[in-house]
Structure formats: structure tokens, C-alpha cells
Amino acid sequence: MSYLILVRHGQSVWNLQKKFTGWVDVDLTENGKLEAKKAGELIKSNNIYIDLYYSSLQLRAKNTLNLIKEILKDTKVSNEIWQLNERHYGALTGLNKDEMKVKLGEDKVHQFRRSWDLRPDPLDKKNPYHPINIETYKKIPINQIPDTESLKDTYERVIEYYNSDIYNKLLDNKNILISAHGNSIRALCKFLFKLDNKKISMLEIPTGNPLLINLNSIQEITECTYLDKDRAKDLLIF
């Protein structure tokens, strides 16, 4: 048996400002840091030993993981994987979600945020928010850096990496914690829980609330629960 823990990063600066963030490398708010520390306390109180840590390349996920590890007093090196990055929101990047609802209508914005295969218009490569202009991503092959993504695109890169690396380590009975993002975790949940496209559009991923998944020897899910149950009461039940 092994444990897989999925944690969406704590509240980020652009979460607070209600901006489409995507690959822009913003940090946590003070509240986000508190959420990350609480996630660490929840894992610690459940006496879960973590063998391997993973995060995206993005600061908000890396710092969430660092704060969790501080609480756990664990100094193991984390695996920082670009395929676990947030979905790229294309030309929506940096725009305010509420303002876009007024401009485009709530239904259209909801489609951009939650539909399976709808991509926003691509982000101009000259835009400073484009990943090719952000130092964090300089080591990623340029032909693999997107201009925009759908959830389907995000799913494909996340699950390809999961199957090539994380899956085998779970088979080897390693307990793994992944600190990532709303859409990369939605991609993992779609795969692990076999959610259809309608259910995945309804799935909310809370910030800083660890989702503990128990897996048996053949990678079947035997149990799952959010460790902060009070904050999970209105969430889609798997």
C-alpha cells in the first residue's frame, strides 16, 4: 500500500487579485503561507511519512512544499517538474476574472476556465508574461513551451509524466506528496478517479488542503479524504 497526497499551493498574490495566472511565476500571500503551514500540520498530525516530494517549477507550489517540509522537519530534496505546472491561460494571462465576466459574459469565462478542450487565444511571444520571457522556464526546450492550453493539453503532459515516473514509485510502495496547481491536480484527479468531462468541469480544488489517497498494490484507490474536512464539506465527493 502507498499514499499519494495532492496539495494545491496556498493562496497566491494573483489568486487574491482574481487574475488568470497560468505560468506567471507569482508567490504566496501571507494567508497562502499560513495555508501551506496548516497543510504541513495536518500531514504531521496524521503521522504520514513522505518518501518523495514533487512540485511544479512555479514559486507558489515550490514555496508551499518548502513550508510543508519545514513543519515536517524533512530535508529531502524535492523533484521540481515543469510538467506539473499550472495550465497556460494564453491571452487571458494577467487579466482580471471579474472584468472578463463583464466583458465576455459569465458563461464564456466559465467555458475558458472549466471546459475540457477549449483553448483561449494564444499569448503573444513578445508579451512579458509569456513563459519564454520568464527566467524560471529557461531550461525547458522552447518547442515544449505552450502559447496557450486547454485542460486536455494540461492533462496530457501531467499524465504522461505521472505514468513515466510517479506511477512506478507508487508501485514500489513509496509515499508521495505533490504540490501543484488547480488544473494540474484536476488532471491527476480525472485520471486517478476516472472522472468524465462533465464531472471534471465541476471539480473544485481548494488551496492548501491535502487530499490523501490510499492506493493498494495494483494502484487501485481504496480510500481518499481531504485532511481539512471542514473546508472540504462542499467539494465534489469522489
Q: State yes or no: is 181 an active-site residue.
A: no
Q: Tens digit of pLDDT for each residue in 16-35?
A: 999 999 999 999 999 999 99
Average pLDDT, the chain: 94
pLDDT surpassing 90 at residue 114 = no
Q: Catalytic pick from 35, 86, 149, 181?
A: 86
For the record, the C-alpha cell of 182 comes out as: 488547480
Q: Which strands sit side by side in the sheet containing 52-55, from one edge to the other?
A: 79-80, 52-55, 176-180, 2-8, 211-215, 221-226
pTM: 0.95
237 confidence band (pLDDT: 50, 70, 90): low
pLDDT of 112: 79
The domain spans of the chain are 2-89+150-232
Q: State yes or no: is 86 an active-site residue.
A: yes
Beta carbons of 53 and 17 less than 8 angstroms apart: no
SS3 47: coil
pLDDT of 104: 85
Instruction: Find the mean pLDDT for residues 152-172.
Output: 97
In this structure, which CATH number among 3.30.70.360, 3.40.50.1000, 1.10.357.10, 3.40.50.1240 belongs to the domain 2-89+150-232?
3.40.50.1240
Instruction: Find the mean pLDDT for residues 47-57.
Output: 97
